[in-house]
Amino acid sequence: MAGAFLLVLMTAGFGLLFALPVLIIPFFFAPRNKTPMKLATFEAGQVPTGDARVHLLMQYYPYLLIFVIFDVISMFLFAWASTVVVLSAAYIVGIFLGIIFIPLGYGIHLARNLDLW
């Protein structure tokens, strides 16, 4: 138990050790003079043109929903498969998959409904 906690502390220590220079070095070496060009708004490195309030199509929303569902499924199934010792707990994974396939089916239904967009 103490060995596992020590590994967590070491991981946090390494994270801080490597993150602090990234935060501290720009504080000392970054230029501080503010010019109108530096204060201007940019969109992907370009000067913005047109109105900022436009209607965006949500035609890829179903695919985003499907991706998020598969991402969650793969994350939890990997965590479950790497820690399972006895296969008698497989019904819990079955319940999880049954619940998670409901939004997946809805996303596939939305992806097939092309006149929605």
The pLDDT of residue 66 is 80
CATH of span 2-116: 1.20.58
pLDDT digits (tens, 9 = 90+) for 58-70: 677 777 878 888 8
Tokens 């499907």 belong to which residue?
66
Q: How far is CA 3 from the centre of its chain?
A: 30
Give the span between the Cα atoms of 28 and 33, in whole angstroms: 13
Please, what is the average pLDDT of the chain? Answer: 80
